[in-house]
Amino acid sequence: MNDHKPLSDTRERILDAAERLFMESGYEGTSMRMITGEAEVNLAAVNYHFGSKEALLREVFRRRLAWLNRERLRELDDLELNAAGEPLKPSAILEAFFGTLLHMGSDESLGGMTFLRLLGRTLTEPADFIRTFFAGEYAEVIERYKRALFRALPEVPHEEIIWRFHLMLGAMSYAIAGTDALQVVTGCELDLDNEGPNAAKQLAARVMPFLLGGLRAPLPQFPVSQEQQSQSEPTKAA
Amino acid sequence: MNDHKPLSDTRERILDAAERLFMESGYEGTSMRMITGEAEVNLAAVNYHFGSKEALLREVFRRRLAWLNRERLRELDDLELNAAGEPLKPSAILEAFFGTLLHMGSDESLGGMTFLRLLGRTLTEPADFIRTFFAGEYAEVIERYKRALFRALPEVPHEEIIWRFHLMLGAMSYAIAGTDALQVVTGCELDLDNEGPNAAKQLAARVMPFLLGGLRAPLPQFPVSQEQQSQSEPTKAA
DNA sequence: ATATGATTTAAACGAACGTTTGAACTATAG
DNA sequence: CTATAGTTCAAACGTTCGTTTAAATCATAT
C-alpha cells in the first residue's frame, strides 16, 4: 500500500501557512480560507487532513512542541546526571528551559522566530480548548523543572518559586511575541536586528540576565506565607 | 435640551458587559449578541451608542485608561518635584508605574481585577486597530517614564532599559492576565486568594521584587552595544 | 489495462457574524 | 396637547464563517 509517499506536502503546506497566520492574526482572526489560500490548497484540505480547525491548531503546535519538550527533558536529565545528586544552579535550569526555546528561533527547521512568536502569543489566548491543550502538552516538563527549582532554591517558599516561574514565562513570552506588538508602545527602534538566526541569540543575551535577576530577587516581606527573609540575596545561584 | 439625564445606563451596562466578556473570550471571540445579551439591552444598542464593535472596545479601554494614565503622570510629577532635579530611584519609578495599575485591581469603581486581566490579555491581541489604539493611549506615559528610567540608570544603555521595560510589562501582564490562564500550565493551587481587593495587594508584593530584580540585573556581556559592564550590580537603585 | 484507495476539487450547506432599517416608544419643550 | 429629539425594538440585511458533499483526479498494485 501507500509507502514511499512524499508524505503529501499538502499537510506541511497547510501547517506552515497556519503557523504564520495564527501568529499574525490569532486563532479566531484567521479563517480557513486565509490558510488554504496562502497554502495554495483546496479549502476542504484542512478538514480532510486534520478534521477541524481546532485540530489543525493542535497539530501546528504538536509538531514543534514534541521536539521542544523532549529536548527540555533531555537537557534536564543531563544536568541532573552530571550534578550527581547535588541541587542544580538556577542559572543552569533557566538556561536549559529557555535556552532550548530560544534555540528554536535560530533554526528554521524547528519553526524559527515565527513559531516562537506564535507560541508567545498563544499562551494568552482565552479559548478553552487551547488552554486545555497546552496544559496537557506542558504538564510533564513544568513538573520536572518546578521540582528542580525547588531543590535549587531550598530556602524559597514553593509558592514563591511557582510565582516567579510564572513571571519568567510571561516576560519571555512578551520578549518573543512582542517583537512588533509592544515596540509600538515603547515607541522605539530597538527590535531584533533582523529576522535571521542570530535574532534568537540577541534575545537570549537580553532576556536571560533579566530572568535570573528576577528569580533571585529578595523575597517580599509580606503577611502571606510562614517564612520570610529580608536579606537582599536569598539564594546563591550563578 | 437633554440635561439632567441618568446618562442612559444602557451605555454603562454595555461597557461593563463588554469589559467582562472581552476579558473572558477575547475581542474576536466575543460577539455583539453575547454582549447585548449579558447587558440585557437590544442588539442594535451597541451600534447606536458607540457606532461599531471596534469603537466599543476603544471606549471600554478609554473609560479606564483615562484615569490610569492621568494618575501615572501625576505620580511621576510628584516624584520629580520632590526630587528637586535629582534622578529618581528605580524602585520609586516602578512603584508609580505599576502601583497605580495594581491599585485599579483593588478598586471596583476603576474596573477591578476584571479590567486588569482584560488589559493584560489585550496587549497581546494581534488586531491592528487595537495595537494602534494602545500606541496612541500610552505614548505620552511611556515616553515620560522611559526618560525617568534613563536618568535613574545613567550607566545602563538606553536600548537595554527599553528592553527591560518591555520585559517588565510582559511579566506584569502575565501575572495579571494569567490568573487562570497559566496556572493550568504550572498546575498549581497558587492563585490569588480571592477576587477581592487585597488580591491586587498580594500581586504587588509578589511581582514588584521580581521586576526590580530583573531591572537591576547585571548587563549582558555581549557584542551588541558599545559599553559593557561585568560587575554584578551595575546600578545602585533600591 | 483496470481496479482500488487516497487525494483534490468545485459547490453548497446552515449558522453566526456585524450592521442597518424603520417603526414604536419615551420624555422633555413649546 | 402637539411637536421633537432621544432611545429602544424586532426584523432583516449581506457577508463570512467552519464544515460537508459527491464527483473528479491521481497514484499504486494486481
Full 3-state SS string of chain B: CCCCCCCCHHHHHHHHHHHHHHHHHCCCCCCHHHHHHHHCCCCCHHHHHCCCHHHHHHHHHHHHHHHHHHHHHHHHHHHHHHHCCCCCCHHHHHHHHHHHHHHHHHCHHHCHHHHHHHHHHHCCCCCHHHHHHHHHHHHHHHHHHHHHHHHHCCCCCHHHHHHHHHHHHHHHHHHHHCCCCCHHHHCCCCCCCCCCCHHHHHHHHHHHHHHHHHHCCCCCCCCCCCCCCCCCCCCCCC
Shared domain check, A105 and A26: no
Nearest CB to A126 within list B121, B165, B220:
B121
- pLDDT recorded at residue B191: 55
Does residue B116 belong to any structural domain of this protein? yes
Shared domain check, B125 and B16: no
The domain in which residue B123 lies consists of 63-215
Mean pLDDT taken over chain B: 86
Mean pLDDT taken over chain A: 86
* B 66-85 residues with CB < 8 A to A: none
Q: Which residue of A has its CA nearest to B173?
A: A170
CB B98, CB B208: distance < 8 Å: yes
Lookup: cell for B86? 535629582
Shared domain check, B124 and B19: no
Shared domain check, B81 and B27: no
Shared domain check, A205 and A106: yes
* A 104-123 residues with CB < 8 A to B: 120-121, 123
Q: Over 90: is that where the pLDDT of B237 sits?
A: no
Q: In chain B, what residues touch A166 (CB-CB under 8 Å)?
A: 174-175, 178, 182-183, 186, 190
Q: Which nucleotide is nearest to B45 (CA to C1')?
A: D8
Please give the average per-residue pLDDT across A101-119, as a whole number. Answer: 94
Does residue A233 belong to any structural domain of this protein? no
Does residue A211 belong to any structural domain of this protein? yes
Lookup: cell for B48? 447606536
Shared domain check, A26 and A122: no
Instruction: Determine the Cα–Cα distance for residues B189 and B171; give it in Å rounded to an integer.
Output: 19
Shared domain check, B38 and B149: no
Of the candidates A153, A143, A131, the one whose C-alpha atom is nearest the C-alpha of residue A69 is A143
CB B217, CB A90: distance < 8 Å: no
- pLDDT recorded at residue B183: 57
A29-84 per-position pLDDT tens digit: 999 999 999 999 999 999 999 999 999 999 999 999 999 999 999 999 999 999 99
Q: In chain B, what residues touch A186 (CB-CB under 8 Å)?
A: 142, 146, 162, 165-166
Confidence of residue B185 (pLDDT cuts 50, 70, 90): low
**Amino acid making up residue A115:** F
Q: In chain A, what residues touch B168 (CB-CB under 8 Å)?
A: 171
Asked if A135 is an interface residue toward chain B (Cβ–Cβ < 8 A), one would say yes
Does residue B236 belong to any structural domain of this protein? no
Asked if A175 is an interface residue toward chain B (Cβ–Cβ < 8 A), one would say yes
Of the candidates A162, A211, A158, A218, the one whose C-alpha atom is nearest the C-alpha of residue B178 is A162
Does residue A195 belong to any structural domain of this protein? yes
Asked if B184 is an interface residue toward chain A (Cβ–Cβ < 8 A), one would say yes
More confident: A233 or B99 = B99
Does residue B140 belong to any structural domain of this protein? yes
Q: B187 and A143 in contact by Cβ < 8 A?
A: yes
Nearest-CA distance from A10 to chain B in Å?
A: 27
Shared domain check, B90 and B9: no
Please give the average per-residue pLDDT across B118-131, as a whole number. Answer: 89
- pLDDT recorded at residue A32: 98
The gap from C-alpha A40 to its chain's centroid, in whole angstroms, comes to 29
Is 0.85 exceeded by the ipTM? yes
Q: In chain B, what residues touch A184 (CB-CB under 8 Å)?
A: 131-132, 134-135
Q: Over 50: is that where the pLDDT of A135 sits?
A: yes
Shared domain check, B158 and B112: yes
Shared domain check, B95 and B2: no
Instruction: Determine the Cα–Cα distance for residues B137 and B60; give it in Å rounded to an integer.
Output: 13
Shared domain check, B200 and B179: yes
The crossing angle, in degrees rounded to 10, of helices B158-177 and B90-106 is: 20
Please give the average per-residue pLDDT across A138-157, as a whole number. Answer: 96
Please tell me whether any atom of strand D lies within 7 Å of the Cβ of A3.
yes
Please give the average per-residue pLDDT across A187-198, as a whole number. Answer: 57
Q: Which nucleotides of D are covered by protein (CB under 7 A)?
A: 5-12, 16-22, 28-29
Domain count, chain A: 2
Of the candidates A44, A55, A135, A131, the one whose C-alpha atom is nearest the C-alpha of residue B29 is A131
Which CA distances in Å does A145 have to A73, A131, B16, B199?
9, 20, 40, 27
Does residue A1 belong to any structural domain of this protein? no
Instruction: Determine the Cα–Cα distance for residues A169 and B181; give it in Å rounded to an integer.
Output: 12
Does residue A225 belong to any structural domain of this protein? no
DSSP A149-200: HHHH-TTS-HHHHHHHHHHHHHHHHHHHHTTTTTHHHHT-S-S-S-SSTHHH
CB B176, CB B203: distance < 8 Å: yes
Q: Over 50: is that where the pLDDT of B195 sits?
A: yes
How many beta-carbon pairs below 8 A join chains A and B? 200
Q: B187 and A28 in contact by Cβ < 8 A?
A: no
Q: Over 50: is that where the pLDDT of B230 sits?
A: no
Question: CATH number, domain at B18?
Answer: 1.10.10.60
Question: CATH number, domain at A194?
Answer: 1.10.357.10
CB A202, CB B224: distance < 8 Å: yes
Q: Protein A114 CA to nucleic acid D27 C1', in Å?
A: 34
Please give the average per-residue pLDDT across B16-35, as a whole number. Answer: 97
Shared domain check, A209 and A101: yes
